[in-house]
Amino acid sequence: MWFMDRSLARRLERTEGAVSTSFTEVNERLRPALGAAWHDFDGTYAIFDGTASPLTQTFGLGLFGAATPDALAAIERFFFDRGADVMHEVSPLAGVATYALLAERRYTPHELSTVLVQGLETAPEVADVAGLQVRVIEPADHAVWIETSVAGWANDPTYASSMREMATAAAANRAMLHFVVERDGVPIATASLGVHDGVALLAGASTIPAGRGLGAQGLLLSARLGEARRRGCELAMMVADPGSRSQRNAERRGFRVAYTRTKWRLART
């Protein structure tokens, strides 16, 4: 049995942090001039993936040890020395003292995200949607998978400008598994799966505008949950905007809200 507590928060934040650090090796190969790097600050994973990347942030602050002024100063130097603002993805299970310290150091709330979780005690059945097929991509599919992912995010101004770089790095990430849904042989939706310590991270789901409303995301979800269980995972997690359609769809399919995080930002001076 598992509960929505600090122990669970540690597992979930460590999973997303570990999967995110895997992109460092990818970008060392693909974009060496970027200077991608990550560092473990006593349990807080700090990741630099470029000044504009959503992966440039920390995971786990305040969960594995008390956040202190000295610890935050060291993390801040990691980002400032690389020309980036400081971003901390903070679970409420890190405690009010962590939030108070961030406010004291002039951080401001930047973003909210809901973390959802589902147990994998039983194998989910892969949905059967007429006219759609889901499969894991092969290396030869990388270019098409990237283009489909980019098309699916094209109308989201938050990610549109950086989506091609993110999708290219994701496709080359050996630590992740990538899925595609095809309609009559034409790709219409994509998604990814990362695994760490018995927890599966479901990420990167997108559908091209012409393919929406056909059941592609449900098909991708059930396929990834089935693969996660086959790989021995106990839990699956995903992250969505609070109150979004993605969150509602996840809850309809058995996910529970674990907590809502706040991303805190400290701008370079």
pLDDT category at 154 given cuts 50, 70, 90 is confident
DSSP-based three-state secondary structure for 259: strand
235-240 β-sheet, strand order: 37-41, 44-48, 57-59, 86-90, 256-266, 108-119, 235-240, 199-207, 186-196, 176-183, 132-136
Same structural domain, 105 and 139: no
Largest CA distance in the chain: 57
Would residue 58 count as lying in a domain? yes
CA–CA separation, 101 vs 95, rounded Å? 10
Shared domain check, 94 and 64: yes
pLDDT (0 to 100) of residue 150: 93
- Note whether residue 55 is domain-resident: yes
Task: Evaluate whether residue 252 is within a structural domain.
Answer: no
Summarised one tens digit per residue, pLDDT across range 245-261 is: 889 989 998 999 999 99
Query: In this structure, are 41 and 99 located in the same domain?
Result: yes
Backbone torsion region of residue 40, taken as left when φ is above 0, otherwise alpha when ψ lies between -120 and 50, otherwise beta: beta
Q: Are 261 and 113 a contacting pair, CB within 8 Å?
A: yes
Q: Which of 88, 82, 125, 113 lies closest to 218, judged by CA?
A: 125
Residues 22 and 95 in one domain: yes
Q: What is the CATH number of the domain that holds 195?
A: 3.40.630.30
**Is the model's pLDDT at 240 over the cut of 70?**
yes
Instruction: Supply the range of the domain harboring residue 197.
Output: 132-233
Rounded to whole angstroms, how far apart are CA atoms 182 and 178?
13
User: Do residues 55 and 154 both lie within one domain?
Assistant: no
Q: Please give the average per-residue pLDDT across 30-34, as a whole number.
A: 95
pLDDT value for 160 = 59
